[in-house]
Amino acid sequence: RKEVEQDPGPFNVPEGATVAFNCTYSNSASQSFFWYRQDCRKEPKLLMSVYSSGNEDGRFTAQLNRASQYISLLIRDSKLSDSATYLCVVKTGANNLFFGTGTRLTVIP
């Protein structure tokens, strides 16, 4: 079983739409949670950390449900520039990161 599972998509949404991505993680001892963004043929970059209380950064909202081992990312008012792959990432005790396969988003004009 993979450490982190997410729907690979693709998600094709019109500009201005709201889109939600979900992922689940298998290790209940996981301590830190993140969403990374990766543009085509580029390196991953941290989008935001995810906290149990939920957190928001502009149009982006992240939620963590520890009981269900479930992480979500909500993007409101999608922009063309949001088109990318969104990687769900978990850190479990050790210092390496476990990545999901990524969910590909395309925002259509």
What residues make contact with another protein under the rule CB under 8 A?
A: 4, 8, 42-46, 87, 89, 94-102
Residue 24, burial from CB neighbour count under 10 angstroms (0-12, 13-18, 19+): middle
| Distance of closest approach, residue 77 Cβ to another protein, in angstroms | 26
The nearer residue to another protein, 21 or 99, going by C-beta atoms, is 99
| Distance of closest approach, residue 85 Cβ to another protein, in angstroms | 9
The nearer residue to another protein, 1 or 109, going by C-beta atoms, is 1
Q: What distances in angstroms separate CA 67 from CA 27, 50, 70, 71, one per listed residue?
A: 11, 15, 8, 11
